Amino acid sequence: MPNAIVFGATSGIGKQLATMLVNDGFKVAITGRSLDLLNLIKDTNPRSFTVMENDVQIISQTETVFQELVKKFKTIDLIIHSSGVGYENPELQWEKEKDTILTNVLGATRIYDLAFNLFKKQGFGHLAAISSIASLRGNRESPAYFASKAFQVNYLESMYFKSKEIKDGKVYITDIRPGFVDTKMALGDGIFWMSSLEKASRQIYKAIKHKKRKVYISKRWNLIAWVLKIVPSWLMKKVM
């Protein structure tokens, strides 16, 4: 039976993917800050879910949780990193910028590194991380969020390059870049091209199964990504 860990499984995309994995026969460790929410998920299939409380900003705690799960499972086939925060922060309130950096940059980096080093030792494994279409450009409302996603995308590409160090190994890195998905993170009504959580999770799960290098969710965001990559900054400044 394959084993997986989902970081950031209390809600949204992480929760949905964890449930899909269990339905597919995985043993899944779900982590997050709220034990109550994690236990509610575990109640749906107590034999397949393992619950671990973890705040990804507390690096020593992430390391302990990770080592305990490696000890329990022996080998881990798939690690999904879905934890993340994002704020609209036009006033640049420091607490919001800091929270974003500590979660999306510091916390994420430690998880990517732990996963990569484990997979290197095992000779196999798959890291799938949820970054964002936001990785492609800057943004005046949410500077830390957009920059943190650019960091994630580049770090994941580095992990992909590093995977060639693993001789004969089967290590895969998947960078998942959603547009808007209907979760508690996507605040506001009438958001442009918002995907339902179910539709987005289905497409993400398919990309993970096919071990894609990177994918935009939903598919139509490929077009936006193409535009975002070619529009000059002066034009972005005018229209955004």
Ligand X SMILES: NC(=O)c1ccc[n+]([C@@H]2O[C@H](COP(=O)([O-])OP(=O)(O)OC[C@H]3O[C@@H](n4cnc5c(N)ncnc54)[C@H](OP(=O)(O)O)[C@@H]3O)[C@@H](O)[C@H]2O)c1
Least distance in angstroms from the C-beta of 112 to ligand X: 13
Least distance in angstroms from the C-beta of 57 to ligand X: 5
Least distance in angstroms from the C-beta of 166 to ligand X: 26
Cβ-count burial 15-31 (b if 16+ within 10 Å, e if not): bbbbbbbbeeebbbbbb
How many Å apart are CA 19 and CA 42, to the nearest integer? 10
Q: Using CB under 6 A as the criterion, which residues of the chain lie in contact with ligand X when the complex forms?
A: 8-14, 32-34, 54-57, 82-86, 103, 130, 132, 178, 180-181, 183-186
Single out the residue of 94, 44, 168, 63 nearest to residue 52, CA to CA.
63
Cβ proximity to ligand X, 85 vs 144, nearer residue = 85
Cβ proximity to ligand X, 118 vs 194, nearer residue = 194
Least distance in angstroms from the C-beta of 60 to ligand X: 13
> Which positions ≥6 away from 17 have C-beta within 8 Å?
6, 9, 80, 82, 201, 204, 205, 208
* Burial of 169 per CB tally in 10 Å (0-12, 13-18, 19+): middle
Cβ proximity to ligand X, 20 vs 185, nearer residue = 185
| Residue 125 β-bridge partners | 171
Cβ proximity to ligand X, 229 vs 238, nearer residue = 229
Cβ proximity to ligand X, 86 vs 125, nearer residue = 86
Tokens encoding 240 = 């955004």
Least distance in angstroms from the C-beta of 168 to ligand X: 32
Determine the 3-state secondary structure of 128 from DSSP. strand
Determine the 3-state secondary structure of 7 from DSSP. strand
Cβ proximity to ligand X, 157 vs 169, nearer residue = 157
Rounded (5°) CA angle 180-85-228:
40
Least distance in angstroms from the C-beta of 102 to ligand X: 7
